């Protein structure tokens, strides 16, 4: 059993305790202390849905919104002044590197994510370079996932005073990884709470990608949109260079319908990345 953390006192047993103190802890112990409380890695959003979001500053220069990243018990704080010059297409990551040569977090563009004992990447965005007059322009797609609080069992009947963090992410439409989404959608109690008290009365956003459109249609099942009837309002937004905007031709040309099978169908001549937010 490993115990954390207790005050040390001096000892003459420097063979067992080289520091001369009978309690010794290092950065790995500090990181291990947090492991039971959080998922392995993610953005710590707090109240800011844009935490650590990557956007294009100008040309091939990316900028990072303020926020915090957690990876395996270690954290990096972004203050909003960080920028990155893109030299190649790939994935923008925040890398935790505890190797002796580095021992720090880094913002990088990589072709493949690393996941070893010493190095772990958290994807923040995909970046591509588009040819424009006089050079190239960077364009990004959001890849962030938010940190999850751990500790609750996979199935339990929650009440309104103790709703798990992943349910709030799901309800508010924040980015989630597949594990977090399954924690909600495969839990009948959480889905019952979502449909009965949250999904029907709060705004919920559903992000989608161009690859989800089939034959000019995008079908959203009830498990994603959370509406219980055709009586709802909505706002459509188109993701352009990493930014959600409302006044594009793709949005204006999109029809939204409720065909009667509890799905919501978007129809458009153009497949595009975007987000739809439901109200009511």
Higher pLDDT, 91 or 35: 91
CA distance 1 to 17: 18
CA distance 38 to 143: 19
Q: Are the C-beta atoms of 82 and 62 separated by less than 8 Å? A: no
Q: What is the DSSP letter of 140?
A: E
pTM strictly above 0.85? no
How many percent of the chain have pLDDT more than 70? 89
Which pLDDT tens digit goes with each residue over 210-230?
Answer: 999 999 999 998 878 877 777
* CA-to-CA separations, 87 to 59, 61, 94, 138, 178, in angstroms, rounded: 11, 9, 17, 10, 30
Q: What is the arithmetic mean of pLDDT over 32-55?
A: 86
Which pLDDT tens digit goes with each residue over 241-255?
Answer: 888 887 788 888 899
Which pLDDT tens digit goes with each residue over 62-106?
Answer: 999 999 999 999 999 999 899 999 999 999 999 999 999 999 999
Which pLDDT tens digit goes with each residue over 108-128?
Answer: 999 999 999 999 999 999 999
Q: Which residues contact 167 (CB under 8 A, 6 or more apart)?
A: 158, 184, 190, 193, 194, 198
Domain ranges of the chain: 1-34, 44-142, 165-279
């Amino acid at each position: 059993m490993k115990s954390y953390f207790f005050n040390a006192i001096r000892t003459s047993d420097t063979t067992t305790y080289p520091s001369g103190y009978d309690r010794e802890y290092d950065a790995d112990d500090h990181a291990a202390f947090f492991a039971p409380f959080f998922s392995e890695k993610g953005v710590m959003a707090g109240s800011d849905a844009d935490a650590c979001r990557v956007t294009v500053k100008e040309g091939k220069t990316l900028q990072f919104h303020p926020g915090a990243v957690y990876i395996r018990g270690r954290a990096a704080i972004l203050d909003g002044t960080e920028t990155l010059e893109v030299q190649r297409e790939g994935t923008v990551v925040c890398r935790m590197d505890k190797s002796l040569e580095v021992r720090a977090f880094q913002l990088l563009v990589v072709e493949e994510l690393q996941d070893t004992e010493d190095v772990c990447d958290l994807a923040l965005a995909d970046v591509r370079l588009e040819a424009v007059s006089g050079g190239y322009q960077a364009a990004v797609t959001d890849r962030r996932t938010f940190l999850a609080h751990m500790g609750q069992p996979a199935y339990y009947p929650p009440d309104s005073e103790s709703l798990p963090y992943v349910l709030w992410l799901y309800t508010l439409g924040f980015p989630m990884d597949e594990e977090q989404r399954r924690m909600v959608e495969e839990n009948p109690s959480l889905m019952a709470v979502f449909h009965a008290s949250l999904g029907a009365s709060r705004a919920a956003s559903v992000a989608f990608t161009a690859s989800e459109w089939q034959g000019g249609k995008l079908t959203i099942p009830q498990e994603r949109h959370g509406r219980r009837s055709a009586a709802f309002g909505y706002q459509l937004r188109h993701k352009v260079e990493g930014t959600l905007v409302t006044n594009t031709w793709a949005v204006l040309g999109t029809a939204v319908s409720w065909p009667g099978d509890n799905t919501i169908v978007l129809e458009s001549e153009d497949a595009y990345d975007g987000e739809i937010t439901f109200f009511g």
